[in-house]
Amino acid sequence: MSSRQASLPSLNIDNVAVIRGNRMVLRGLSVTARAGDIIWIRGANGCGKSTLLRLVAGLLTVTAGAIHAEGRVALADENLALDANVTVEAALRFWADMDGASVDARNVALSAMDLQDLAHIPVRFLSTGQRKRASIARVLASHADIWLLDEPYNGLDSASCTRLDQAIIDRAAAGGIVLVAAHQPPSINVAISLSLDSHGVVT
């Protein structure tokens, strides 16, 4: 693991196609990203944004083409993956332990998403936007090289959107790669902006 962290993260998506449930979801997709790149993926519902993130995360396999990701990956998708009956702090601590993250990293992540006041509230009482912030805090605390954020702005208020923008910019500036899948245009400067049509083809 340490040798992988030492080298710069990179992401190479080469002519990828995916078939899911007898439907071609992505086709002829090629992206190359280097350390410091922010990639913004846009497209209508069901165009394959989430599928692309799950492919990069290694949760799905490609039908054709190849994906090579160098560096540790963290994913924040629609699933919160935080235990509902424990406090926000305890739920995040579980994943921080999994990632070998320090207490400091966890506290920084909590304050970056303005969750300090919610830290001792059970996860099940969080609102939609607060849940989203908690799942982003999990990614922040992981110190992963490559962030995969699926619709991270959904349900966030404007203050939280600004915080998220800042977190993404900081991660990229520190040499990470951030993939954002969203239906709205980018609110920050991005290195690569992809737009997928309804057949999963880059337009």
Partner 1 sequence: MRAFVALVAREVRLAWTGGGLWLPVVFYLAVATLFPFVTGPDKALLARTGGGILWIAALLATLLPIERLILPDRQSGVLDQLAVRGWSDELVATAKIAGQIVAFALPLLLATVVGSALIGLPEAQLGTLLLGLALALPALSGLSVMIAALTAGLSGASALGGLLLVPITIPLLIFGAGSLAEDPGNAMQLLAATSLAITALSPFAAGAALRASRT
Contact set with partner 1 (CB under 8 A): 20, 57-60, 73-75, 77-85, 94-95, 97-100
To partner 1, the closest distance from the beta carbon of 175 in angstroms equals: 20
In the bound state with partner 1, the residue whose beta carbon lies nearer, of 21 and 117, is 21
What is the closest distance, in whole angstroms, from the C-beta atom of residue 59 to partner 1 in the complex? 6
Sheet holding 23-33, edge to edge: 23-33, 10-20, 64-70
Supply the minimum distance, in Å, between the C-beta of residue 85 and partner 1. 6
Contact call for residues 78 and 155 (beta carbons, < 8 A): no
* Closer CB to partner 1, 47 or 82, in the complex: 82
Tokens standing for residue 152: 């991270």
**Using CA atoms, how far apart are residues 88 and 193, in angstroms rounded to an integer?**
33
Instruction: Please check whether residue 162 is in contact with residue 170, taking contact to mean a CB–CB distance below 8 angstroms.
Output: no
Q: Which residues, at least 6 apart from 142, have a Cβ–Cβ distance to it below 8 Å?
A: 72, 74, 95, 96, 99, 101
For partner 1, the closer CB: 97 or 157: 97
In the complex, least distance from residue 7 CB atom to partner 1, rounded to whole angstroms: 17
Minimum distance of partner 1 from residue 60's CB (angstroms)? 8
**Measured distance CA(96)–CA(117) in Å, rounded:** 19
Residue with Cβ nearer partner 1 (42 or 141): 141
Nearer to partner 1 by Cβ, of 105 and 169: the residue is 105
Q: How many CB atoms lie within 10 A of CB 26?
A: 26
